[in-house]
Structure 1
Amino acid sequence: MIRLLTVLHRPPWFRSGLVRSCSGLPPDRTAARIRNTFLNFFRDRGHLLVPSAPVRPRGDPSLLFVNAGMNQFKPILLGTVDPRSPMASYRRVANSQKCVRAGGKHNDLDDVGRDVYHHTFFEMMGSWSFGDYFKEEACQMAWSLLTEHYGLPVDRLYVSYFGGDAAFGLPPDDETRQIWLEIGVQANRILPFGLKENFWEMGDSGPCGPCTEIHYDHVGGRDGAALVNNDTPDLVEIWNLVFMQYNRELDGSLRPLPQCSVDTGMGLERLVRILQNKTSNYDTDLFTPLLDHIHQVSCVDIYGGRKGSSDQEKVDMAYRVVADHIRTLSVCIADGIHPGMSGAELVLRRILRRALRFCVEVLQAPQGSLAGLVPTVTHILGDVYPELHSEKDRIMDVINENEAQFLSSLQQGSRLIHRTLNRMENKHGLFPASVAWSLHRDLGFPLDLVDLVLEERGVRVDREELDRLISENHKVVSESQSGPQSQLSLDILSLSELQRLGVPHTNDSLKYQYSLDRDRYVFPACCAVILALYDGHSLRSEVSEGQRCAVILDRTCFYAEQGGQSHDQGYFTRNGSKDVVYPVDAVEQVGGYVVHHVTTSECLKTGDQVELHLDQVNRLSCMVKHTATHVLNFALRKVLGPSIQQRGSHVSAERLRFDFTTKVSLSVSQLQQVESCVMDVISANQRVYSEELPLLSAKTISGLRTVDEVYPDPVRVVSVGIPVSELLNDQTDKQTSVELCCGTHLLQTGFIQDLVIVSERQMVRGISRIVAVTGRDATRARELGQAVAQDVDSLSARLAGSTPSSLVSAHCLAKEVGILSDAVDNTPIPQWQRRDLQNQLKVLQRTTNTTVRKLEVREAAVKAEALLQKHGKKDILVDSVDTDSLSVVMKTVNQLSTAAPNAVVMLLAHQVHSGKVLCACQVPKGSASSSLLASDWAVAVCQHLGGGAGGNAVVAQGTGSSDNIIEVLRWAEQFAVQKIQR
């Protein structure tokens, strides 16, 4: 009977054959059909289907842990989209997006695991209208899809809308309420809510507006109105329809948008739960294979789906946390985000360590279990996101490496906690919040674990101070993520006003129109007319002296910052006058307009004629670096293989930076081969070709290198050595550098002159960063490398020739090795040479350290023998020795303690020239003098000297200052006597 009822209540799309049955289907098969139904529905209604963007585009440092769909189409909503981009023509769009919500405004991390419907990663099926339809059609399509195509019962659906906010002068969205009434939703199921629930904002500024949400009641047969937006697991939001009709200004005010847009999003996981008739998202096919795998590697009972605080309920929470977080980790790492110490990387690090804690502590899974779940994630999601298959091994490597680091951090953190507790004067007082916060921030030690460790010792953290530190950190992180928004960046309203006024897009073709004349680059002159001025708030016809403003010209020869290349530098002069200059601080491209940020020396007006003066040295340096970057990309693929992928780059006049995928850092030999390959291209002085082509035609070129970003159409193709037309017509099989690129390039590779890789290191597991210099800087780097190499060879020869006979000379040699090591580490020299010299210096360091230790032991033995002859085997031996080495003082103390095992020993060394005093002591363990601890003795003496010390009950050492060593020796001995006699 139960099975029969289930069949009868399946929605029409199950019975019609779209999905015949959930049971027996491979994981994600049901989700795939639900996803396809959504996309087909909107395609049939004129929506363009576009692929999901990465969680973070390659090389983009910004934090994208919010609705990824919104970020993908953000240029359209802000009006900044390149008019040549296919995105500029979007009117109706639909897709299914990868979304991560674990930081910033949209943060679900702390809820994950506690309930059965929050996730850090989820799929958001969305539809968009950019100036096309608005509220009525959006609501009608949403209701039709849910009730007619997915077959959701109307009596289980509730609708919320924006009820207005008098404080902000926002009226209720009665228009939306009326639309729902006309669709047929009962009035008692249309509920008003405030700003928090039903007013969507992109951030502190930008497009925003009211939203209406559709909620589903999993129980049914009741009046659930009071449960809407009440964080109830059985009545949850499934679809949000955002109506962007305002722009939030920097001052907090709202202005109507010139073009209204719609952004809707429905969580796939929640919809699958509904259509599979499950009580939890984690009971669907998207999660059950993961939960089964977790059970196989854990030492706990099978997942039971419980929520609460009992032991078994905590185990079920751990199941959910690990299953959710491993999906997030897999998707983010595959898209180029790795656990780190700032921004998105820091958030991902927190997710990883949260997953590891639950995996190890609660599920009792062995090390490596978390990474072992990645193949299951790939099995579930790999058909939708194929990059999971290609990146699977790297994802597992990153997780395993971070797990080892975290377990080490836990041990280190535990030792620091106990050391801090031992130093606390009041053993039951407040634990320093600064230490707890440092543990959490620097070592990733969970704060709740700090509380558990302290609870065992009857101590608690200074919670008030800790909350203050956390609050300050959140403020700093928030400010760093949002970044200082330029007051001169055109907003959507000013861009719309420019279009309304008919201001044409800037003609910037002159930036490419330079030539070679007798080995000298000639850049075209450029005179232009000011079409618009912007003061950060509105368009102006005039800007007075001393103001910063944005200037839009009819034409320009300046390159706007884009494609990883820095903007051009230079200045304007007005109306032919050479006496008054207007420095250009920045150049950016916004919505087809090239915007020059200028500081006015005198009044500027629209209609003024200006002459543009390009900093040609700066431009040429950028051209050199950009072409060199392309050649470097080609050389890396030639040496390391075609699987190398670019993960970001940046070009400035000073240097170039290039990020790429590779499992390990390059060897000395590989670095030399890459440089040699680059130098071959430079020496050949190959011609650099560029041509603008339709995007589809360009993508047919064999060997074309691209990155994950939206390219304009037509697109610029840059090729080295072979004309683009030959590559396009497939007239050659010769390998060469060919990329889609909007940057400015050399016309011949010989102008690079030279290239040296001065740094190469793994930024995170699987991604390396190269920093290189060119021209004279490269030549200088080679010269410096030779000079440092000669110094290392000279020192090696001296060490090989004779062994130092005195400790002073040995210390001098060790110091020389240290100085040379610093020079090798920090001087801009070829990276292959740096690695080679570092290896040589490590050998020299070991040799000098061994020599120093032997001489220290020998000197300590001599001093110990002299002190024994002077004092005999006294119970308390306090004296001074003549040395500048704390290590010698400690070794002498050790030898005295060995010769007189029952004595307490303290030695001081007074450096007369500086007044510094070195202190070391040892107290035999378990002796009659057990009331004296070495650490207490050293701390007391060094504090008496105005310094500090550390150690344990047996050995300790420290430093201080004094001009009267005799008085200090007397004081130290009296302290020991008093402690022992108690």
Structure 2
Amino acid sequence: MADEQVHWSAAKVRETFLRFFEERGHTIVPSSSVVPHNDPTLLFTNAGMNQFKPIFLGTAGNTEMAQLKRAVDTQKCIRAGGKHNDLDDVGKDSYHHTFFEMLGNWSFGDYFKKEAIEYSWELLTKVYGLDPDRLYCSYFEGNPEMDLPPDDEAKQLWLSVGVKEDHIIPGNMKDNFWEMGDQGPCGPCSEIHYDKVGGRNAASLVNMDDPLVVEIWNNVFIQFDRQKDGSLKSLPAKHVDTGMGMERLVAALQNKESNYGTDAFTPLFNKIQDVTSARPYTDKYGKDDVDGVDTAYRVVADHLRLLSFAIADGAVPNNVGRGYVVRRVLRRGVRYARKYFNADVGSFFSKLLPALVDQMGGQFPELVKKQEDIKEMLDEEEVAFAGTLDRGEKQFEKYAAVAIKNGEKNLSGADVWRLYDTFGFPEDLTRLMAQERGLEIDEKEVAIAREKAREASKTVKEAAQTFPKLNVHQIAELESSQVARPDSEPKYSRGDIKSKVQLVFTGTEFRKTSKDLPPKTPLGLLLDRTSFYAESGGQVADTGRIVIDGVTEFKVLDVQEFGGYVVHNGYLEYGELAEGDEVICEYDELRRSPIRNNHTGTHILNHALREVLGEEVNQKGSLVDQDKLRFDFSHKSQVSLPEIQKIEDLSNQYIRQDAKTYTKDVDLDLAKQIEGVRAVFGETYPNPVRVVSIGVDVDELLATPKNPEWRKVSVEFCGGTHVDKTGLIKDLVIVEESGIAKGIRRIVAYTGSGAHQAQRDAVAFSEKLDDIAALPYGADKTAKIKATSVELDALVVSTLTKEQDLKPKFAKIQKEVVDEQKKRQKAESKTALDTVQGHFKKDETKDAKFFVGHLPISANMKAVADVLTYYKSKDKERTVYVFAGSKDEAVVHGVYVGTHLSSKGVSAEQWTAAVTEVIGGKTGGTPVSRQGAGAEPAKLDEAVAKAEEWLAKQFEELKL
């Protein structure tokens, strides 16, 4: 029996594992990022071996990693998307997690099966003290069809350490043969399973998905290399790759049937109870968890771990790839929190975060470092979802009620898609809610609904570029009809608002209803009040939707203002709208949030430019959208790198002050008196004008408008949306500085998560350059340098980092390769010439005049040309036909016909033509000298023989 829980805490289990292998010559390697920035094949890091792939694939070059012989680590892993996805199982059973730790020990061409098996058995039974009778070991049973023998060596090794024969079980390809992919390193594996019950023989339950007999450790023996044709070759260096689920091991050591019953989770459960006042966690499952609260505890704790580690490592919630996984996990967790804990949505997960940081921040310091960023992002996402959660759940209940009333087993696919498209409910969350009501989801129906919606919206989005504008006559028509201009003040507030439809605009006429219009007709809506921002002042328009829940949805693709009338352009997804209808305006907050960051960032940048470059700087244009800010300004010369550094530093100092943003409508003449106020030259401003001040209350500015201190403050006339405090911007990174016209410069910058992504991209690219630098000289390195040059040109990162770090680093790598090329070129040219000259020196026939042969060099055309040039200029009588390269890669060849033969009519063109008939390709040159590349290198030997045969025939015909 294992020691009690108090002795084997999760932290001690982890530490014991690392120290055990460190004492046996293993280097402790930190966990790699859970976001594999340098591996596009992976959505998330899902196994311990991911960071060691360069070693297994032989691409580690001369990096520090390549020097490793033995390693040990605990790897952060996420399995919630892509090939490995445990999301749907989390909460339902005792051992699935979307985030978990994988303990692993590694041997790279050092020890193999014997030591790996001995280490694992010693650690589990002698150090951790697990009962050997509860442990079962599997080994590969072989596969005759693939010519793979049984791994009897592993079986015998398990017997030798003391495992009973009836506890050693053969396993098939699925369970006991590991492969990285269709090609590459692979090999048999040997698992260790633990019986949580004991006192019985559980061999028949191994790998049978029994929750009480679980795999805890897997020893993979990488000994083969799968070829393109599917065959296997033995690897010259054999590796050991092991992985042990830490949470499962902790459960075994703490004598718990459930991973969730251990102190890997109890601190989080205690925090959930503290925050929500819920009943205590009791570790019940399925029907035993009558109120669903235990399941909710498990889901929330698991999801908190995934969200925190993913965000800390750079997975920003969005609608694409891994970002979408993070968003849907958060929304799934929020819904559980609301339904089962009656929690307030908006800052729920961030209130739990400190418990996770306290628990795991010691091993994973990135949690501590990024705690504030994680909190902000969690809150931002929750707030954005909170507005639609209530309405979405109510709408789901309506859909479910209809399905149940009609005796349907499935929830309509169109309804499932609508819940996602309108309310942001991911399909898996809707599936979960449907299961609670005894309904299923037909995936084909959902796919059909999704495709129909996308095709329809694609057509209208193309039309969005040409949405009609209100002309002067139409504005006059609205005024004469006494249609009131809308109240637009809500655009400066957060959240959804209620409004009423005034008119429907088709582009040619105003209508009181959308009835009888063809489906997906591009329309404009006029409302009595709106929270949507209409494009102006360089800030792009909001997008979103205008809805009557469950009845009508109008997709807003663009918003424009004409003479004070705001037109919401888009199309009806379903339903109808008519004058007087009460609707909900729901702009896309997740899109608006980075726009706010970028707009306030623009003001701060404008201020910094004047401080660094002087009074001549005046705004000449700007664009603020969800991705970036673009700012055009007057300046006579290129902004230097030191100046960019000062501008960026000054901007970020302002941001880190967490200064409050103040706004106020002020009489235009009075506002113009504020010292240092910024306005766009030639722009017509309304009266009163909206003044935006960062850090000082507008009333304070107006009290002493000529105070010279105000020049140190960003003060502008602006009608845009802004952050409440500058700290929300996080960072400003300049990614481009360029000239767009004489005396006009342009700066493009990122803020917030965009800035952080640019910083991560720069680090990832720098690491990529390190990897390339460490590669041995060769074709692979040269090809990667060529591809990386294109990538570097297109890379959007900090201008400072790119110019001062990445470009010099890349140039150094290029120079080293060019220098090595020159060195090798010189050496190969010498080898080539020495080979030919050596032939003539050794030839016993004093008047030997020719050489035909394969040179011991690479397919080096320059070396071939150097040989031909030597004989053309310094030894004109001799004839040489040389080949270079190998039949496995590439071949080049060249000939010089010396005067001894050319004077008798021997032609270089005819000779090379005979050779190319064999080796393919083309040649070019003069009557006495030609060069070319062969298209069929495998026929190299035949080509050399052909050249000799052709020359011999000439000698015979010429009777030489």
The TM-score, its normalising length taken from structure 1, stands at 0.46
The TM-score, its normalising length taken from structure 2, stands at 0.47
